[in-house]
Amino acid sequence: MAEHIELLALAECVARTVRHPSNVHHALLAGVTWAEIARVIDSDEIAVRRDYRQWADDQYDLNQRYSDRGMTADEHAAAIAGAAEGVGDTR
């Protein structure tokens, strides 16, 4: 029983790491579409975009406190604009 619990915990840890919005950000920069991201993480585009926008806002807030971290104003604006495009867009 303990082994099954450990495997479940490990699987959840890996899933959270892979689903992290920073990985979405890097995928977008590489040209992956919102639809592809949603399909791969078994979600819908609206949820993926919402989570990404929240992450981008948090990264911008981080940059406001520590200028060497997070997203600059220009990076944040580009991220939010990309996330705001209509569902079904390629980017």
From residue 23, give the alpha-carbon distance in Å to each of 4, 19, 30, 45, 86.
28, 7, 11, 15, 21
CA atoms within 13 A on the CB side of 51: 18
In a domain, residue 70? The reply is yes
The string of pLDDT tens digits covering residues 36-64 is 999 998 899 999 999 999 999 999 999 99
pLDDT, position 21: 87
Q: Look at residue 8 and tell me if it is in a domain.
A: no
Where is pLDDT greater, at 16 or 73? 73
For the chain, the domain total comes to: 1
Per the domain annotation, does 40 fall within a domain?
yes
Assess if residue 32 is contained within a domain: yes
Name the residue range of residue 71's domain: 21-84
Task: State pLDDT tens for residues 5-27.
Answer: 999 999 988 888 877 889 999 99
As a whole number of angstroms, the distance between CA 81 and CA 60 comes to 14
- pLDDT at 79 > cutoff 70: yes
Residue 14: inside a domain:
no
Supply the pLDDT for residue 65.
97
What pTM does this model have?
Answer: 0.78
